[in-house]
Amino acid sequence: DVKVTQSSRYLVKRTGEKVFLECVQDMDHENMFWYRQDPGLGLRLIYFSYDVKMKEKGDIPEGYSVSREKKERFSLILESASTNQTSMYLCASSSAGLDTEAFFGQGTRLTVV
């Protein structure tokens, strides 16, 4: 059974904190993605990675950074959390190729207070 696992289901952080969201996949996938999901806005791509140590900005990278030191792990970092980063964060992975399916984690609900 394929698995994408996000380290936390719920997180509450204070404004200004540095926040780490972790994602691990066990499918040996090349591609990994971080999205935020907001009502009415759908899924917006923050960053993605197509190989270890490789990353590209998505549509809304401001305020975020990522790290991919190992193939199975993709971390999203909020350098200084702000209230407008309160959201549901989804991690996904897929193998290389245009027509490959993306598998999603269960999501992390982050609240910044």
Partner 1 sequence: AQRVTQPEKLLSVFKGAPVELKCNYSYSGSPELFWYVQYSRQRLQLLLRHISRESIKGFTADLNKGETSFHLKKPFAQEEDSAMYYCAPRMDSSYKLIFGSGTRLLVRP
Q: Is 89 within 8 Å of 75 (Cβ atoms)? A: no
Q: Output the CA torsion 58→60→64→65 (10° steps).
A: 10
Query: Interface with partner 1 includes 93 (CB under 8 A)?
Result: no
Closest by CA position to 63, among listed 43, 44, 48, 84:
84
Which of 59, 79, 82, 113 touches partner 1 by CB under 8 A? 59
**Minimum distance of partner 1 from residue 74's CB (angstroms):** 13
CB atoms within 10 A of CB 62: 6
Contact window for partner 1 (CB under 8 A) among 15-23, 35-43, 64-72, 78-86: 35-43
**Minimum distance of partner 1 from residue 103's CB (angstroms):** 8
| Angle (CA) 80 58 105, round 5° | 80
Query: Interface with partner 1 includes 90 (CB under 8 A)?
Result: yes
Measured from the CB atom, is 56 or 79 closer to partner 1? 56
Query: Interface with partner 1 includes 41 (CB under 8 A)?
Result: yes
